[in-house]
Amino acid sequence: MTSTNINFLEQAVSKFKNLDADDRLSVLEQLYGQVDNEVPVLALNELPTEGPAALVAEVQKLPKEEQLSAIRQLLLAKTSKGNEAGESNIPISDYNSLSDECKLVFWYQLAKNLGGSIIAIPSDYIPSEQATEVLDLVQSANIQDLVSFMNQVL
């Protein structure tokens, strides 16, 4: 990785960590949509999916109106000491015990189910200027840099 890439990653990670949960979810949804075509199905089959699938199933079991709160809670789990997003039935300890690879798989599976078995981001939601800045920073990143970015923020 070059120093330019490191600088881009530091900037993108720093800006992402300052976003609220809704903007984080919006950024992740767009990034996972962007990499969906680039991630070979065979590569996903080699990753452990039992833990992430169980956690996605827990989110799916929640009533739609509680799903967003649970997702917010998980998005803030790494960088927040308190539970700013409200309570849910999803144990943060289950999420935090996942390996980095499993967290990537969890968010990938979650993103794939948004608008289906998991509540969609409202169609009238407009990402903040800060979220747009993060997306602009990562827009031209290659797949390895995107994975590195996601590892650092999840």
Phi, psi of 37 (to 5 degrees): -75, -20
Residue 46 burial (CB count, 10 A): 9
Q: At what angle do helices 64-76 and 21-35 cross, to 10 degrees?
A: 90
| Tens of each residue's pLDDT in the chain, 154 residues | 444 456 888 999 999 999 999 999 999 988 887 777 666 554 555 666 678 888 889 899 999 888 988 888 888 875 543 444 445 567 677 888 888 888 888 888 888 888 889 988 888 889 999 999 999 999 888 878 888 888 889 8
The tally of domains found in the chain comes to 1
What residues make up the domain containing 20? 3-153
130: domain CATH number is 1.10.2090.10
